[in-house]
Structure 1
Amino acid sequence: MSVPEFEQSRRLSQAESQTILRAEIPLKERFFRYFQHEITALQDQMERLADTSLVGGERTDATDHCLAGIARLSNEVKDAASYIPTYDQRIYAEAIKALQDKLAETRAVVEPRSKFSFKTKKNPVSISLSDAAEMAFQGYRGVPGYRSPGTSSVGSSANNTPLYPSTPLNEPDKILQQHRPEVVPTSVPSISVGDTEEKPQEKEQKAFAANVLSSVTVNNHHDLHIMLPASGSASAVPASITSLRHCVVDMSIPTANGKPYASLTVKGVEESLLVCGQIDGPAHITGVKHSVIVVSCRQFRMHDCRDVDVYLSSTSNPIIEGCSNVRFGRTPRAYALDHDRPDNEDRWSQVEDFEWIKPEPSPNWSLLGPEDAVPEGVWAEIVPGGPGWSLDDILRAIKLIQ
């Protein structure tokens, strides 16, 4: 073999070089670089909010996409806790808090000012995004072989307000009305909030009366991507999803902030994805066909359903009746919260078929295998939607349509 041929055979491919390079970089440093990239991307999305049209709920959709991205990044920090030092975890938590504050500040600037709103006091111990990034950077300068990731930085600061800042309480219907820009229905679809009752007040206090949400309902829609905003839930209210076809409904954002729905009722849904979030009580699913459901609840009961994949977390054995071709899997990590039940208390796979009394396993349900389950990356990156992802793209990614 000639020298040139020998050198050519020894030359590593680009993919091999990248593999070796990644192997040489510690996990915690790789996560730091990834974290910097994600924060920069989220800040860019926030900066574009002011230029996003209000028509058709586009700005509301973009804002909710930012909220989902922050929640996803927070969950990824928790998932990486096994190899990230405690000190760095605190830095990441401060950076995420600053990111939440930045979004709240941006929303306060770009959204129409309401006549009455509640203000929160500034928390003096919080740090800015730039400070958090600098602290993390200084911590990694001591890592052997570390090189600066370049000029990308996270340089902004924000006032401190809570994650998912509250919408003015006297405008629940307005904030819950939205639809995807790629679909133009004959009328603006609304996500109703059941009966809205005004608290009795003295005459001089009437201007400050607050509306109380008694339920959250998504009803009678087709060909839409519906994402409930952070204000789309109050503590311990029932939720229902009825009469949907070819839709994506994401109700998880309101329940990610410690406000689970009291119960869930789903009826008459076809060819749709339902991300139902956290349910403090029972979930009753009836008449669902060719769909995917993601839910965390205490009790799960399913009636007269077929060709449905259920990604479930439940404290009691799931019960099915009159169903066929139902497959069960665990709740995706993208929707798992830090207070979720441990593995030994989760009964998602202990399904009972009330119409199957034979000793053999029921043919009406099965467990989702790895080859059939939706990949974690799809739940985290595609299902939340956003620019470039249409309704059909999402349904195709979860293997619901071809």
Structure 2
Amino acid sequence: MVLGDRLATRWRALRFLAVEAVAAVVSLCMLMAGLVVAALLVLIVGWLAVPPYLRVLRWWAGRARLRAGRFTGRPVPERYPPIPDDPGFADVFRLLAAPATRRDASWVAIHGVAALVIGVIAIGLPLGMINSFAIPFYWRALPPDEPVSNIYPVTSWWGAAGMPLVGVGFAILAWWGIPALARGIAGLAGTLLAPGRETELSERVSALTVSRAAALDAHAAELRRIERDLHDGAQNRLVAVVMMLGLAERSLRVAPDQALPQLLRAQDAAAEALSELRTLVHDIYPPVLDELGLGGAVSALAGRSSVPCVLDVDGPRRAPAAVEAAAYFVVAEALTNVAKHSGAEQVRVTLSTCDDDRGGTLVIDVRDDGVGGAIASSGSGLSGIGRRVAAFEGKMTLDSPLGGPTRLEVELPCGF
């Protein structure tokens, strides 16, 4: 690293520490306000003050995360339990006992003191260096009874002559100390404000519990759909086939010339029942996924869409079969909703795969130029998509203002 880069690094560290020193004053104010709120908890007004104070505290801690992340180049994650709009006593108590609140309170207390002291030291080192080098030039101008105060009082030429050496000492301390102090303050934010391992495990358990419940709901809904399709479709047709065959048997005994038309009708009904059974099996797991992959299967859906569909397949990698099946049904249901409710003239479907900390995510983006106003109400196709996505710990985002356009984005973890 050249000298210019090293100077730029130290100047950046000095600016960071100066900003943190100013921010430490705000942290001390936040600490004082927190102590006042804590003292008022014996009264109702204290409990009423907790939610707004925590909102401000979270915002201030978030600013510290941003500053530390920009300085180190490593973002500091944040995880907070939501603050209800109208919290009750139990909600406030839960917020006060949350690990995130303890982390923020600890950071405010330590940052308010440590960052202020370290910031003053960091600013004082270069100023002390400049002053030490300048003392030999101005100490004579001061009154004899007011010696220059630095590391030691300067009252003679011999004392002034040693000041440049003191300045070199200040320069060495500033050169090596300021970056280390800046890393320490940034590391303080990363250590205190980042969620702990136990928090991540707790959130993971909660996410797994939710996804398991969603998977069970999706499974139950799928079984109900299959039962309904069998009862209303193939089962009724098979019953009709049995009745037609019974009539044909009776006709063979009484009027053989009438048996052939009845057998033909029974054959047609049996063929229709077989076709419905094939469709039902196809809907459980489309064979086209194995034959053509997700891109080809979705292309077939787009080709059958009654609304003109533009398909953009940005090279999605093969995902586990269950994930591809979920993605296929998401697109199928989304296109069905567009055709039934949107009044759109065109729909665009985009499939892509992005790498992330979950090992890869399949992203499905469906946009139409319809009337908008879509909501994921209970029993709707969108709520079914939500259940299916939640079963894979995925994410569904729906943006559908009145007047359109509508955008549905689904993220499905692939676990590559």
Task: Provide the TM-score with structure 1 as the length reference.
Answer: 0.23
Structure showing the higher strand proportion among its residues: 1
Q: TM-score by structure 2 length?
A: 0.22
Q: Which has the higher helix share?
A: 2
Q: Which structure has the larger Rg?
A: 2
Say which structure, 1 or 2, has more relative contact order (CA 8 Å, 6+ apart).
Answer: 2
